[in-house]
Structure 1
């Protein structure tokens, strides 16, 4: 069996558009306009480059009456050609970025020029030019609309536009991939540094814990020694009336132990023995 792939209504509408990609219809390109017509969201008389004949072609496809071109979107006119005054051009590349069919050649800070056979006369390169060096020159005499344009030219413009869109998308994906690679590289470089900081912190924590354990063990030995001396009657005799200076030293020592997290079971009730 042979598979038959029928075109959608939007695709059939797009085939009848001049593919100038001028946006005068109110949509960003010919295909979105075709989609809007197929969805009933736009009228079929909004394309000035197609002119009255273009509106008639679409009316026949849609089975609708022929209606006048909606001039709020522009008027039918002879096809113009963009011409750059190369003596004024500053090489900003803004016109190249605006051209929907890659009909302008040049480079940053270099003179630009329009490739005449590729220009669709869309006018989109004129507004962004900061030095007003682009003029739109009529090149088809009295011929307007489809009389000033051929199906072959439309097909070629459509191909260039589709290739441009694909290239822009590819460049976007590649740019995002490069950005992700740079971020991964930075993360890989900072990971060892973070590990070193973590290890240093852990080492410091271990040292503090060891210090507290040594102090705690020494205090425990002192407490046991004090208990043994007390049993032999050799304990401290003057614990009831301690001078203010000595008590301050005791308080300072207890504060240091508190900061270190060291407890002194033998002095648990020492606060009750302080002179008031």
Structure 2
């Protein structure tokens, strides 16, 4: 006939915190005709994330694995929003891998949000995030991430000593010796263009692009490498002032450099 808890009668109990709750179940009578008090145990899953601070050198690939560690195999939650912040002057976000349960949003530069609109989240790997150290004047770039917001289960923050991202794998290059390398970028204000000096294996057909912080492609051209140091141009035209990425790609090899455009 319903459950009486804290003076209220409900058809069900929503207990967010694991523990023991004393309830009175109406309509369940003993031989004496009196109502019985029964004790039920409310179980709920807790999602814990953790965050490792790693170091990425210029050209290093950083693969971070987002895991959920729970005391149950899965839990049905209302929604989850996982926010990851990274320095755009130090890191380039390549891709989010194995993120079938998330929608990826990039609200502002240097912020990645993985949104889960509701339903089951299981224990184990939720997503993998691939980043790369940028060609800056600083040889070693710190990788710092932000906070986690989980709605409907438990709010978890890195301030509690929990970690958001674990399983960090850094794919080190030999010095700066990638097969495709951006040697330098020189602006020409008179022609509103960039001269990109690069090196790549002879005969490689390279894809040269300029992207904004949201990943939108502003410029695309192709060039064929000679095996030495070559130069390609990117016309800025009416590109707005802001932070951009110059990307040089040959199949699976790529080099990325961050630039600031002031028009």
Normalised by the size of structure 2, how large is the TM-score?
Answer: 0.26
The structure that is strand-richer by fraction is 2
TM-score using structure 1 length: 0.25
Relative to its length, the structure with more helix (as a share) is: 1
Bigger relative contact order, structure 1 or 2 (CA pairs below 8 A, ≥6 apart) = 2
